[in-house]
Amino acid sequence: MRTRAATVAPAVLAAAATLLLAAPQSQAAAAHTKPARCAEKALVLRAKATADPSVVRLGVTNRSSHACVVDRVPTVTFAGLDGAALPVPRADRGTYALGAGRTGYATLRTIADPADPEARRADAITLAASASQWGRAFSAAQLGTGTEVRVWEPVTTWWQPTAAAADRALGVS
């Protein structure tokens, strides 16, 4: 059986070659690939209480040389207590992209009313950028909340591009 060679007009070939050569390599590659999950060792995690000890600011920085993704919502657990902070707003699974050297911010409220008699107490929190990672533990002293973190129905924002955006998402001023 004989095959017939397709003929393409030379002008069409020249136009296609020009388009391919004109696109920067980084844009051409980025258009076809999604960032990989961030390696835990490439991330720097931070947590620090505000003037209100029931509000903790969280941060994750990608110190690698390429973009990567973490879970849309940080995973925050409390030493000795079951459960994790719930996302505000509620979220399905998803990711948050961190460019090389970029930081994502979230705000955590550990308790709505620090005087609540039903409050539980933890001596530390653990923050992870993805549920599949171990994360980093921060003692109450490291956070700046004294000897304990008071906890009752904790909530956290999704990762945001700025600390101010994270505060607004939680209604913190």
Q: Choose which CATH entry (1.20.1050, 3.30.70, 2.60.40, 2.40.50) describes domain 36-170.
A: 2.60.40
Per-domain boundaries in the chain:
36-170
What pLDDT is recorded for position 144?
Answer: 94
The DSSP 8-state label assigned to residue 51 in this structure reads S
What pLDDT is recorded for position 31?
Answer: 53
What pLDDT is recorded for position 91?
Answer: 76
Enter the pTM of the model: 0.79
Residues 39-77 as b/e (b if ≥16 CB within 10 A, e otherwise) read ebebbebebebeeebbbbbbbbbbebeebbbbbbbbbbb
Structure tokens at 172: 């913190």
Q: Are 55 and 108 contacting, i.e. CB atoms less than 8 angstroms apart?
A: yes
Q: How high is the mean pLDDT in each 10-residue block of the chain (173 residues)?
A: 44 45 47 85 97 95 98 96 93 91 98 89 97 96 94 96 97 85
What pLDDT is recorded for position 32?
Answer: 58
What pLDDT is recorded for position 7?
Answer: 47
